[in-house]
Structures are given as structure tokens and as C-alpha cells.
């Protein structure tokens, strides 16, 4: 999961609950298939001004252990960054770390950030598409 989905689900209550990616995240949590990187945890918690809100969010995120990130993941992230940049695409270090870990673990990426769709045109990552809700 990318920061955008976690943020929608946990920080932006007024927009998030009905968003397909948030509904999908809730399903993945119930299925014990939701994953979190420490870098995403940091992004989610950054910028929260009120200590009580920070502690509440930190506590909620505590239910999700961080996926292990290796030296090879960081090196792969830099490689992916360089490849995409060479093709005119910009992304954050965290974005490419997500891509590297997703590649290694063969985990599709759930995101609302369109940059990942662009990355997928140049690097081997799979996007997780929210499942339909036709029968609900």
C-alpha cells in the first residue's frame, strides 16, 4: 500500500470512508494482506501538529508491523529511480522503495497516486486494483 491510501483511510475521514481504495484497504486488513513500510509510517505521521492526534494515529498504525527492508531494496529503489528519471519520470525515494519491496515480495501496490501507473510502464511492478462492489 502506498502512503496515499493509508492517509485517506486514517487522516482524512471526511473523504476516505467511501473511496474505493479505502474500502479495498479495509478488506485487505481483514484478510491480513495489508502491508506497511516504515517509510510510509513516517510519512503518515509527519506533519501532525496535535500530540493527541499523533498518539492516536501512532497507536492505530501499531497494529501493522513494518515489512523488512533490505540493503538490496534500497539499491534496487535507487536503480528504479535512475531508470525512471532517465525516461523523464519523477518520483520520491519512498515511491521507489515501495516499488523495490513490492517487486521483491511480489506484492501488488494499492495506491491513488497516478505516478505508480506511469512507473509501471517502465518497471516491473503490479498494481492492485480495488475489487468491484457490484453485489453489495
In a domain, 12, yes or no: yes
Task: Please compute the mean of the pLDDT values over residues 44-70 and round it to a whole number.
Answer: 92
Bigger pLDDT: 22 or 13? Answer: 22
Q: What are phi and psi of 77, to 5 degrees?
A: -60, -45
In a domain, 96, yes or no: yes
Percentage of the chain beyond pLDDT 90 is 67
In a domain, 131, yes or no: no
Q: What is the pLDDT of residue 47?
A: 85
| CB distance 128 to 104 below 8 Å | no
In a domain, 126, yes or no: no
Q: What is the pLDDT of residue 7?
A: 86
In a domain, 125, yes or no: no
Q: What is the pLDDT of residue 134?
A: 41
In a domain, 62, yes or no: yes
Bigger pLDDT: 48 or 76? Answer: 76
In a domain, 136, yes or no: no
Q: Quote the domain boundaries for residue 101.
A: 3-120
Residue 76's closest CA among 95, 55, 99? 99
In a domain, 113, yes or no: yes
Give the chain's domain count: 1
Residue 116's closest CA among 97, 134, 130, 135? 97
Q: What is the pLDDT of residue 136?
A: 43
CATH of the domain at 95: 3.40.50.1010
Percentage of the chain beyond pLDDT 70 is 92
pTM over the 0.85 mark: yes
Is residue 13 very low, low, confident or very high in pLDDT (cuts 50, 70, 90)?
A: low
Amino acid at each position: 500500500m502506498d502512503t496515499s491510501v493509508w492517509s485517506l483511510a486514517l487522516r482524512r475521514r471526511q473523504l476516505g470512508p467511501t473511496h474505493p481504495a479505502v474500502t479495498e484497504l479495509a478488506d485487505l486488513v481483514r484478510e491480513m494482506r495489508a502491508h506497511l513500510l516504515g517509510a510510509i509510517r513516517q510519512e503518515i505521521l509527519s506533519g501532525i501538529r496535535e500530540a493527541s492526534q499523533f498518539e492516536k494515529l501512532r497507536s492505530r498504525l501499531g497494529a501493522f508491523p513494518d515489512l523488512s527492508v533490505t540493503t538490496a531494496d534500497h539499491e534496487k529503489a535507487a536503480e528504479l529511480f535512475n531508470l525512471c528519471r532517465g525516461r523523464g519520470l519523477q518520483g520520491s525515494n519512498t515511491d521507489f522503495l515501495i516499488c523495490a519491496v513490492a517487486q521483491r515480495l511480489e506484492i501488488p501496490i494499492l495506491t491513488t497516486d497516478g505516478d505508480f501507473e506511469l512507473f509501471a510502464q517502465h518497471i516491473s511492478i503490479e498494481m492492485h486494483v480495488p475489487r468491484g462492489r457490484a453485489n453489495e
